[in-house]
Amino acid sequence: MAADPLTKGRRRTAGWWRRRSLRFRLTAAASAVLALALVVSAYVMVGVLGQALTTTIDDAIYQRARDTVSLADARRLPNELTTPDGTLLQVIDAQGRITHATTGTDRLVPLLNTAERAAALARGRAGFVNGEPYGIPHLLRVRVLSADRGQSVISARSFREVQTSLSTAGHVLVVGTPLLLVLLAGVSWMIIGRTLRPIAALRRGADEITDTARSRRLPVPEARDEVHSLATTLNDMLARLEQADARQRALVSDAAHELRSPLASIRLQLEVALGHPEGQDWRETAEGVFEDAMRLSRLAEDLLALARLDERGGPARREPVELDQLVQQAVERYGDAVVVRLPAPGETAVVTGDALDLGRVLVNLVDNALRHTSSPVVVELRAEGADAVLTVTDDGPGIPEPDRERVFDRFTRLDSARSRDEGGAGLGLAIVRETVNAHGGAVHLEDASPGLRAVVRLPLS
C-alpha cells in the first residue's frame, strides 16, 4: 500500500534534517527554543505592561471619584470641578441630572445612563466606554461611585496613553525580537562550533591513523569534559587494538616458524626415501614422518586453543566444577608417575568455569613437569580462604627466577635442557595462563628446592 503524501513529506523532512551537520542541528534547535522563549516573554511583557498601566489609570480615576464623593457628601462641591491629570468628572443627582462637571465635559448627557450606572456600581470596578458619542475621540476608562442623597459620581480618563504605550512596546518587540534572535543564533553557532572543535580534531586524528601509523593517538583536549573522556577511551581502545595486532602478528610469525621445522623434516625424509628407495628403511622413515606429523598436530591443537581463548575472552561454559574430581580423573592416566594430595573427605573445592579447559591446564602442567623430573610429580589441591590452590611440583633442574614470567609467553623456550621441551612449541604454559586468567585466577612459578612448583589460584564459587 502506497504511503500518503503527508507521510512522504514527513520522511523527506526527517531525512533532510538527519543529513545536516550536528552544529547546524544544535544551533537550529537552540534558536527554535530561544524564539519560542522570546515570543512568550514578549507576550507576557506586553500583557503585564498593559495590566500595570490599566491598574494605574483605574487607581487614579477611583481616587478622583472618591475625593469628589467626599466633597458631595459634605456639600462642598465647587461650581467648576478641576483635575490636574485630565480626569473627567460628572456628578449626577437622584433625578439623573448633571449638577457638576469638569471643564470640557458634557453637562447634559451623562457618560453612563441609569442602567449602565447601576451595572457599574454592582460590578464594583472600572470599565470601558466609547467616547466618540460624547465628542471624545478616545476609548475611556470609567468608574462609578455612589454618594449621599442618591447622587453618583462618574470618573473617566482617556485610555489612549495606554494604547500608545502598548503600541510602541509592540513595535519595539516586533523589530527587536528578530534582531535579538539572530544575534543569539550567531552566538550559539560560535559557541557550539568551539564546543565541537575537539570532536573535529578527533575526527582528523582518526583520519590520519592508517595501517602504517598504528602507534599514533588521538588528540586529547585539555578540558576535563565528556570529549576528554571519549578521547581517552578511544586512545585506550587503540592501544589495546595495537597490542592485539602485535600479538596476532607475532603469533602468525612464530607459528609459521614452528610449522616450518616439522614440514621441512617431513619433506627431507620423503625426498631421501624417494631418491634412494632401494636402500631406505621405510618403517624408520614412516616413524620419523609420523613423529613430525604428531608434532604438527599438537601445534595445531595448541594454536586452536589459544585462538579460541583470545576470541572468547572467558570460559566456554560457566558451570560448577569440583576440582578434586577433576584432578583425580586427569591424573589417572599417569599411574604411579603422579602423586595426588586432595582435601580431606567431605571437603570439596568448587569453582565456576569450563571443566575441559581446567583439565587441559592440569594436563599441560603435569606433562611439562614429567619431562624434567626423576621422581613422581606431586599434584596437590587445597583451599585457602576464598581461593582454590592447585600446585604441581617436580624435582627437575628448575627455571631461574628472572625467566619464570617469560616462560608464559607464547613460543618461549629457554636455552636450558628443561625449556627446550624436547620438541615442544612453547605454547603449553601460555595456554595455562590464558585459561586461568579467563577463569578469574592467577598462575605463577616458584622454587621447590629442588625442582619447580607451578601454583594455580582459582576463586571458589
pLDDT digits (tens, 9 = 90+) for 302-325: 777 777 776 666 666 788 888 888
**Rounded Cα distance, 432 and 354, in Å:** 13
Long-range contacts of the stretch 423-430 (C-beta < 8 A, 24+): 423/295, 424/298, 425/258, 425/295, 425/298, 425/299, 425/302, 427/299, 427/302, 427/303, 427/306, 428/302, 428/364, 428/367, 428/368, 429/364, 429/368, 430/306
Q: Which residues contact 173 (CB under 8 A, 6 or more apart)?
A: 42, 45, 46
Q: Which three cell numbers stand for residue 84?
A: 490636574
Instruction: Fold for 18-197, please state it.
Output: Beta-Lactamase (3.30.450)
Q: What is the pLDDT of residue 225?
A: 74
Q: What is the pLDDT of residue 210?
A: 65
Nearest to 392, CA basis, from 454, 319, 318: 454
From the number of C-beta atoms within 10 Å of its C-beta (0-12, 13-18, 19+), residue 87 rates as: buried
- Give the CATH number of domain 317-459; options: 3.40.50.150, 3.30.565.10, 3.40.1710.10, 3.40.50.720: 3.30.565.10
Q: What is the pLDDT of residue 244?
A: 75
Instruction: Fold for 228-309, please state it.
Output: Helix Hairpins (1.10.287)
Q: Which three cell numbers stand for residue 383?
A: 583451599
**Rounded Cα distance, 454 and 444, in Å:** 6
**Rounded Cα distance, 34 and 32, in Å:** 5
E-state strands within 135-176: 139-146, 152-158
Domains 18-197 and 317-459 share a fold: no
Where along the chain do its domains lie?
A: 18-197, 228-309, 317-459
Residues lower than pLDDT 70 in the chain? 1-6, 8-10, 13-14, 210-215, 254, 258, 310-316, 346, 413-425
Q: Which three cell numbers stand for residue 9?
A: 513529506
Q: What is the pLDDT of residue 403?
A: 83
